[in-house]
A and B are shown apart, each in its own frame.
Chain A
Amino acid sequence: MELVVHFRAAVALLGRFPALAGIDLDVARGQIVLLRGPNGAGKTTLLRACAGLVPVVSGDAVVLGFDLCQDPRPVRSRVGLLAHSTGLYDDLTADENVRFWGRACRASRAEIDAALAVVGLDGTLGKVPVRRLSAGQRRRTSLACLLARRPELWLLDEPHAGLDRDTRDQLDGLVRQAAKQGATVLFSSHELDRAEALADRTVELIGGVAGLTADPDPSPSREAAGVA
């Protein structure tokens, strides 16, 4: 079983604060894993650490075969992060934003067009400056940027927040489809019913710590269905 994410006693700092105080986590390829925990537990930091944006100062942290303690930069182009912030330029249109970020990570024109089409931004809505879009529409734009990258590891930070039900359903569909195609998904959510229905397994995060007390086992039936 190929491990896409492997953390042992990982500690990561935000400034001087140990946002992650000891993470044990193993995620296999094709799994959809839910991160659960109270606010301030470190879910966002864990997702960002997997993206190579937050330095891991102690312990083991290997993502997609890259050692994060040594150099987190190579992993960045292989992951897709959907964060709280939009990562978009307000003055540009949704279309221009996705094209810029797509071309920045070497996506082809076809891939960019497809990404825009999937989220419904290939029409007139795509020509509107981001500052005039609603929060849900901005989230869809950010999602299009992620889709254009075709990442091996999806990192979604509360992706359902602010989306209407149809869009949430669409997002869930995209996640399942990506997992079937071999991508791995790590996401956090407070929408527990929907999230648990989507996820193969759940990891509890409290006080920057995960897995040191209990070892959550993947549910056998889900895993068999989830891995390509």
Chain B
Amino acid sequence: MTDRSPDLDADVDVDTTAPDHTGSPATRVLGLAALATLVLWALYGLVWSPPDVNQSDAVRLFYVHVPSAILAYTGCFLTAFASGMWLRRRSRGWDALAAASAELGLVFVTITLVTGSLWGNVTWGTFWTWDARLTSTALLAVMLVGYLALRRVEISPAGSARAAVMGLLLVPNVIIVNRSVEWWRSLHQTSTLMKLEPSIEGEMLTAFAVGMLAGALVFAWLLIHRFRVAWLEQQVEQHDLEAAVAARRAEAGVPQTTKTTEAQPV
């Protein structure tokens, strides 16, 4: 018996007393750390770091925009990695991870797009510039939405090959899209976010670094919780499955045994 889909033979300790939260000592520490760095980040970002020479306070959006972008792509790569691992191992944990990180990726992509768009509005008066990063991030957003739409249509207890293949393909897609969009936009000398990115140093660098750290902690915290929720959902399905097998057997009039594995004819 290989370790594939619901392994009814395994010693799975289906916890029938359902937990009422997905927290744990580790996540509480993580959560507090995240909260603390967020506060620090807000302080640095809004108060302690100086306004930029050229852009004054608009530059503060960068402290949100860039870390969000990095985290969005991290979520995307994580989904691809988890999908690849699922295809090799076929265990539900990897599927749950792929789903969780895709959702988080979408959240951060949205933040990236909104902050980028706001920044553009403040600086040039338009909400959208066909800047390379913004454009390819928009495409990433559409791809993540499509991925999540696919997952919604295709529901299966232990994950599905469709979702996994699509998840895995996200990485080559993103890379190809990024390369081509950047090359394309570089043909036109339009001002880009990246060109106008201030040379960050001193306190601005600190603000940026703190922002990165805060973002990473928040990402990790959310990811762990979302993963656990997905894991619990799968546990429930496993439990339901064993109940369904038992019910079907009762319907057939088979003498009931405690474990499904022991139902051997004597």
- Tell whether any CB of A sits under 8 Å from a CB of B in the complex: yes
Q: Give the distance to chain A from B132, nearest Cβ to Cβ, in Å.
A: 43
Partner of A58, one of B8, B251, B254: B8
Q: How far does the alpha carbon of A70 sit from the alpha carbon of B254 in the complex, in Å?
A: 27
B264 & A9 in contact (Cβ 8 Å cutoff): yes
B245 at the interface (CB under 8 A from A): yes
B263 at the interface (CB under 8 A from A): yes
- Looking at the assembled complex, report how far the CB atom of A162 sits from the nearest CB atom of chain B, in whole angstroms: 29
Interface contact B245-A215, CB-CB below 8 Å: no
Task: Name the one of A17, A57, A209, A211 contacting B244, with C-beta atoms under 8 angstroms.
Answer: A17
B263 and A57 form a contact (CB under 8 A): no
A13 to B156, CA, bound (A): 11
A212 within 8 A of B: yes
Chain B CB within 10 Å, residue with most, of A24, A55, A208: A208
B251 to chain A, nearest CB (A): 4
In contact, A213 and B254 (Cβ under 8 angstroms) = yes
> Is A168 in contact with chain B by the CB < 8 A criterion?
no
A206 within 8 A of B: yes
Whether B249 and A207, one on each chain, are in contact in the complex, defined by CB atoms closer than 8 angstroms, is yes
State how many angstroms separate the Cβ of B215 from the closest Cβ of chain A.
Answer: 37
Would you call A22 and B5 a contact (CB within 8 A)?
no
Interface pair B240/A16, CB less than 8 Å apart: yes
Known interface pairs A11-B245, A211-B265. Does A21 touch B6 (Cβ–Cβ under 8 Å)?
no
Beta-carbon nearest neighbor of B250 in chain A? A207
Question: In the complex, are the beta carbons of A55 and B5 less than 8 A apart?
Answer: yes
With the chains together, A207 CA to B251 CA distance in Å? 6
* Residue in B4, B244, B254, B265 whose beta carbon sits within 8 Å of that of A18 in the complex: B244
Chain B residue with Cβ nearest A212? B254
Q: Is there contact, CB below 8 Å, between A16 and B263?
A: no
Q: Are B241 and A16 in contact (CB under 8 A)?
A: yes
Interface hits, A5-62 → B, CB 8 Å: 8-9, 11, 13, 15-18, 21-22, 24, 55, 57-58
Interface size class of A (residues with CB under 8 A): 20 to 34
Q: Find B2's partner among A24, A70, A206, A209 (CB 8 Å cutoff).
A: A70
With A16-B157, A21-B245, A212-B254 as known contacts, state yes or no: A69 contacts B5, CB within 8 Å. Answer: no
Given the known inter-chain contacts A55-B5, A58-B1, please indicate yes or no for A208 contacting B248, CB distance below 8 A: yes
Q: Mark B212-252, 1 if CB is under 8 A from A, else 0.
A: 00000000000000000000000001001100110011011
> Of all chain A residues, which has the CB nearest B240?
A16
Chain A residues whose CB sits within 8 angstroms of the CB of B240 once the complex forms:
16
Q: Which residue of B lies closest to A60 (CB)?
A: B1
Q: State in angstroms the CA–CA spacing of A15 and B9 once bound together.
A: 19
Checking B2, B260, B264, B265 against A11 with a beta-carbon cut-off of 8 angstroms, the contacting residue is B260
Of the candidates A13, A207, A212, the one whose C-beta lies within 8 Å of that of B5 is A13
What is the CA–CA distance of A22 and B5 in the complex, to the nearest angstrom? Answer: 17
Check if B263 sits within 8 Å of A9, measured CB to CB: yes
Instruction: Scan residues 44-102 of chain A and give those whose CB is less than 8 A from a CB of chain B.
Output: 55, 57-58, 69-70
**Set of chain B residues within 8 Å of A13, measured between Cβ atoms:** 5-6, 241
Instruction: Give the chain A neighbours of B6 by CB distance below 8 A.
Output: 13, 57
- 10 smallest CB-CB distances across A and B, nearest first, come from A207-B252, A209-B252, A207-B251, A21-B248, A58-B8, A18-B245, A206-B252, A208-B248, A207-B248, A21-B245
Q: Besides the contacts A58-B7, A209-B248, what 17 more A-B pairs have beta carbons closer than 8 Å?
A: A11-B8, A11-B260, A13-B5, A13-B241, A15-B156, A15-B157, A16-B240, A17-B244, A18-B241, A18-B245, A18-B248, A21-B245, A57-B8, A206-B251, A207-B252, A207-B253, A212-B252
